[in-house]
Amino acid sequence: MNILVVDDQILNCRLLTTMLEQQFYTVFCAHNGSEALKILALHDIDIVLLDVLMPVMDGFETAPKIKQHAGNVYLPIIFITALEDQSSFEKCLAVGGDDFIHKPFDKVILSAKIKAHARTRRLSQQSNEQKRQLEYHYNQIEREHEIVEHIFSNALAQQTTYPEICEYHLSPASMFNGDMFLMAKSPMGGFYCLLGDFTGHGLAAAVGALPASRIFYTMVQKGMAVSDIAVELNTALNELLPGHMFCAAAIIELSSSGKSISAWIGGLPDLYLIDRNGKLIKTIESQHMALGILDTEEFERNLLHFEVNPEQRLVMATDGIIESESDRGDMYGERRLKRLLASRPVISTEQIISEVREFTGSGEQQDDLSIAIINCVASESVASVPSHYSSLPFNISLSLDAQQMKTTDPVLELVDLLSEVGGISAHRSNIFLLLSEAYNNSLDHGVLGLDSEIKNKEDGFFEYYCLRESVLKELKEALIIISVRYSPEELKLYFSICDSGNGFKAGTRNQVKQEYSHGRGVSLLGEIAQSVSYNSAGNELEMVYSLTSESI
C-alpha cells in the first residue's frame, strides 16, 4: 500500500511518514501539488494526504487533477487541515476531497482513516477489474457473433429464390433467434421449403441450423421425399443437440404441377391454406413433436397430403407472430392473424409484419417475426446442364451363359457401366428400358420359351414370373450375346441382342391391346429408340439410340 503525503512543511511530512511507516505503509513525499502529480505519474499511489496551503500549486487546485488522474478507480484524498479552519472544509469536499485529518495528528484516528479508505480503494479496484474483464468478454462475444453470423448467413444464403412461388420475411438477426427458412427445387421441379424454429436464443439456438441446412439442400437436390428429409433431420439434430433443445419445423413440398402439397409439421403453430382473398380454406395443425426429440425408432414420419390449386396460398409462421405482445400485454394471437390475412387480397409478408409491428407499438422491438407464404403454382423443371459427350468410340460385348443368366443382373450392370461414359448418364433410364426389354424378351421367350398369354389369366402376371423363376432354375445350355457400340461422331449407341433360342416371327408381338398387362415392351422400344429391327430368324434384335434425341 503506497501513500503520498503532500505538505510544504518538512516537519509535517516527517511526522506523517514516521507514523505511517511504523504501520508498514510505503510513503512518498511531495512539497507541492505539482510535485505530487509527478510522483502520481511514476508510482502506483493508493491514498493521498493533501495539505491545503502550499506554494506553486495548492491543495484545492491539485485535488481535481489527482481525481482526473485516478480515472474510474477510487483514489482517496484526505485533506490535512487545522481543526479551526471550518470554513475551508466545504471547499475541500467540493474539489474532490474524501476526508480530513486534523493537525496535530492523532495516530489512532489516522490509522483508522487510512484503513477505511484503503478498503474502499481495494473494492473499487476489484470492481473496476471485473468491469474491465466483463467488457473484454462482451467485446469478445460480440466479435464472435459477428463471425458466426457471417458464416451462417453464407451457409444459409438462398442460392436461388423463387419469388413467384414463395415470399418470406425473416428478421435480420433471425439466426440468433433460432429461426431459419430454407427453400430449394428438386430435379423433378418440386418446390421444397423448411421453416424452422430452434428452442432458445443466441448462439446455442443457431448451431443446429448449419447441419440442418446442409441436410435439407442435399436431400432436395436428390429429390427425396419430405418424410425422408424429416427422418434425416431428426436423427442429426437428436444426436447433435443437448436434451432440452429441439427444432419446431414445417417441411413442405409443392409438387411441380402445383397441384398437391406434402407436409411434415412438428411443433409449429397452425398453418393456413387461404384463397386469393385471404379466406381460410383449411387450417393445418402440427402432427408431430418437434425435430430432435424422438429417437429414430420412435420418430413419426407420416405426412399430410392435400390438394391445392394456383389460386391458393399456404401461410406458415413461427410463434413469434402470434406471441407478439402489445404495450398492454395482449398477445397478437391466431384470431387477429386470420383476420389480417382476410383483410386484403394477396397480402404480402411485409404487410403482415408491419401490421404486427403496429400492434406491438412502441414497445421493445421483438425481432423474431418469421413468416412465409407459398403460392401454389406449377413450377418449371430445373433446366439440365447440356452434357459433354465423350469423343472416344468403343465396343462392348457380353456373352452370357445359363449360369450367368441365373445369377447376374446384366442389364443394370451394363447401364451402370455405360453411365460412366461422359454424356450417357443423362440417358440411362432410356438405355435401361431398351436393354431391359430386349434382354428379357430374349431370355423369357427366346431362351426359356415362355408364353406371355399366361399373363392374361386371372393373377397370370404373378404366375408368369413364378413360372419364369422355376424354368430359369432348370436352364442348362443357353447363350445371350449383348453388344453395344458407341459412335461419338454420330452421337449414337448401337445395340444388338442375340439369343440361342428359336426366335419368333417378327410382327406377331406388335399387336398391342391396352387391356393386356403385357406386350407393351416392343412398342415402347420403337418410341424410345431411333430404329428397331429383328433378323429374319427372330433371335437377334438391333436397336439404334440417338443421344441427341430430345427425350431427356
Partner 1 sequence: MSLSKNASADGKILTIQIRGKFDFNLVQSFRQAYAEVSDQTEKVVVDLRETDYMDSSALGMLLNMKKTLGTSVSSIHISNCRPQLKKILQISRFDKKFDID
Rule CB under 8 A: is residue 296 a binding residue for partner 1?
no
- Shortest distance (Å) from residue 524 CB to partner 1: 6
Query: Does 521 participate in binding partner 1 (rule CB under 8 A)?
Result: yes
Alpha carbon distance 309, 281 (integer Å): 12
Alpha-carbon distances of 482 from 443, 445, 494, 544, rounded to whole Å: 12, 16, 11, 13
Helix count and strand count (H, E) for the chain: 16, 20
Q: Which of 221, 260, 366, 546 binds partner 1 (CB under 8 A)?
A: 260
Q: Which three cell numbers stand for residue 243?
A: 436434451
255 scored as a contact of partner 1 (CB under 8 A) = yes
518 binds partner 1 (CB under 8 A): yes
- For residue 367, is it left (φ>0), alpha (ψ between -120 and 50) or beta? alpha
Q: Show the 3-state SS of 412-460.
A: HHHHHHHHCCCCCHHHHHHHHHHHHHHHHHHHHHHHCCCCHHHHHCCCH
From the list 38, 119, 222, 279, which residue makes contact with partner 1 (rule: CB under 8 A)?
222
Residue 417 as a binder of partner 1 (CB under 8 A): the answer is no
Q: Map residue 321 onto helix, strand or coil.
A: helix
| Nearer of residues 98 and 253 to partner 1, judged by Cβ | 253
Beta carbon nearer to partner 1, 13 or 303: 303
Measured between alpha carbons, how far is residue 304 from residues 271, 316, 373 in Å?
Answer: 12, 15, 18
Site for partner 1 in 376-405 (CB under 8 A): 381
Tell me the angle at which helices 107-156 and 10-22 cross, rounded to the nearest 10 degrees: 70
Binding flag, residue 436, partner 1 (CB under 8 A): yes
Question: Could you tell me the smallest distance in angstroms from the CB atom of residue 427 to partner 1?
Answer: 8
Stretch of 17-25, 70-78, 250-258, 341-349 lying at the interface with partner 1 (CB under 8 A):
250-258
Q: How far is the CB of 308 from partner 1 (least distance, A)?
A: 12
Q: Which stretch binds partner 1 (CB under 8 A): 130-138, 172-180, 181-189, 233-241?
A: 181-189
- Tell me whether residue 120 or residue 287 sits nearer to partner 1 (CB atom): 287
State in angstroms the smallest separation of the CB of 417 from partner 1: 14
Please tell me the distance from the alpha carbon of residue 288 to that of residue 294, in angstroms, as a whole number: 10
Nearer to partner 1, 105 or 217 (CB): 217
> What is the smallest separation between the CB atom of 506 and partner 1, expressed in angstroms?
18
Q: Which residue has the cell 423363376?
A: 469
Report yes or no: 321 and 373 within 8 Å, Cβ to Cβ. no
Q: Which contiguous run of DSSP H or E holds residue 116? A: helix 107-156
Q: Tell me the C-alpha distance between 200 and 292, whole Å.
A: 14
Write out the binding residues for partner 1, residues 440-459 only, by CB under 8 A: 440, 455
Give the footprint of partner 1 on this chain (CB under 8 A). 186-188, 190, 222-225, 227, 255-257, 259-260, 287, 301-305, 381, 412, 415, 427-430, 432-433, 436-437, 440, 455, 461-462, 465, 468, 514, 517-518, 520-521, 523-524, 527-528, 551-552
